[in-house]
Amino acid sequence: MNVMPQGPAQNSRNGTQDTMPQEPAQICGNDAMNVMPQGPAQNSRNGTQNTMPQKPAQTCGNDAMNVMPQGPAQISRNGTQNAIPQEPAPDPANTTDQPGPRKSERKRKPPTYLQDYDIEDTDYACSLMANIPQSYQEAVNSKDKEAWKKAMDKEINTLRDSNTWSIQPLPEDRTETKGRWVYTLKQGKTPGETQHKARYVAKGFSQIQGVDYDETYSPTTRFTSIRLLLQKAANENMKIHQLDVKGAYLNAPIDKEIYLQQPEGYEETNKQGKLSCRLNKSIYGLKQSGRNWHQTLTTFLKEQGFTPGAGDPCLYSKEDPSDKSANIIILFWVDDILLCCRDDNRITQTKSMMQQKFNMDDRGELSWFLGIDFRRHDDHYTMSQERYIDTLLNTYNMADCNPVYTPAEKDLQLEKATDDEYEHSKDYPYRQVIGSLIYLMT
């Protein structure tokens, strides 16, 4: 007979004492017959006691078949020891080569929100940017090599005419700053006009603060100032003309002794050793070039009697007490300059004054400025960025896309990119796209 051990007595609702059964003891020997141990008694609705069945007790001895091995014992709340079951040890006789983890065979496809776009063979890259060389060797071996060579020749002539550097041997105690060619396709004043531009720049990231440069901050005008200037011109019947400074940074003297690597494809050599370009003027790419140009231009304007604006460091004005129609306002964004005045003669005089100091292009009345189309009407100006938007769409191969109301699919579940997808994403110019969109919003 197998006796169920009794637990501590409890008082039932009818006043009698019911004993609480405990876990059954292990059954050993020939009597280990798959006995279902009884759980704690419960009172049914008719007053009788019903026992709750529990898992069968573990067996040992002759009938102990397929027994789960016991792990280290733990002390339960009532003081007894309960063994923790462990996984059975594998049978060495039945060991075989197990296959590796199963790899997912799910086919990857672009997310649903991209199904509205017509993208063929672009692989998230930009087709037009692929035509822009990233190095001198790519430029001279591209299908537009003649156009790029002409653009580089023009840049070299500009640098030489500006006396940007002096070719001389590199001192032994000096380090040469590296340089590189940068190429771009620039949109002209008329729709569909494209210009090949090449510029030789310094790799400013190799400069050392305190040795190669000190201050770097250079302000730019605010778009609010541009809109206010347009409103003032419309209210007072003023005209706005535009000037473009050629190689603006090349007009500013350098404030440090810097040696720059000679441009690739235009090197000069002699028997004295390695030659380098000792800079006489600021050049694009240096950290302080923007600041040097801003100081050069503002110093010249102050010498000509212009007064800086209180709310915008790039807004200057000059008043004529005897003739208010001759009052003139100058607003500039780096190398793009706007002249606003009611008197045509004063505009012509100001242009001549600035062209004597700097090499400039006269663009006439305002029509295209900072990627914005301007059109003058009888009592107002209009601004349009349609051409700029079209340029962005063509640049990033989205000209034929279909517009959608939301930029992403609703309830989209993002997945971690694989190593191949991560490496491939580096080819897409995310920073350029975000910067272009931010500029578009202003």
374-433 residue pLDDT tens: 999 888 899 999 988 888 888 888 888 887 777 777 788 888 888 888 888 777 788 888
Residue 106 pLDDT:
67
Q: Across all residues in the chain, what is the average pLDDT?
A: 78
Q: Which residue has the tokens 């397929």?
A: 66
Nearest CA to 338 out of 223, 199, 260, 425 is that of 223
User: Above 80 in pLDDT, residue 244?
Assistant: yes
- Rounded CA gap, 196 and 187, in Å? 9
Per residue in 22-67, pLDDT (tens digit) is: 544 444 444 444 444 454 545 445 545 554 555 444 444 444 444 4
End-to-end CA, the chain: 92
Q: Name the CA dihedral angle for 164, 166, 169, 175, rounded to a multiple of 10 degrees.
A: -30
Contact in structure between 5 and 21 (CB atoms under 8 Å): yes
Residue 3 pLDDT grade (very low, low, confident, very high; cuts 50, 70, 90): very low
Q: Are 252 and 289 in contact (CB under 8 A)?
A: yes
Torsion of the alpha carbons at 298, 301, 302 and 306, rounded to the nearest 10: -120
Q: Say whether pLDDT at 291 is over 50.
A: yes
pLDDT at 59: 44
What pLDDT is attached to residue 395?
Answer: 83
Domain locations along the chain: 1-41, 127-384
pLDDT for position 81: 55
What residues does 372 pair with on adjacent strands?
369
pLDDT at 131: 76
In the numeric block, which tokens belong to residue 49? 């006691």
SS3 372: strand
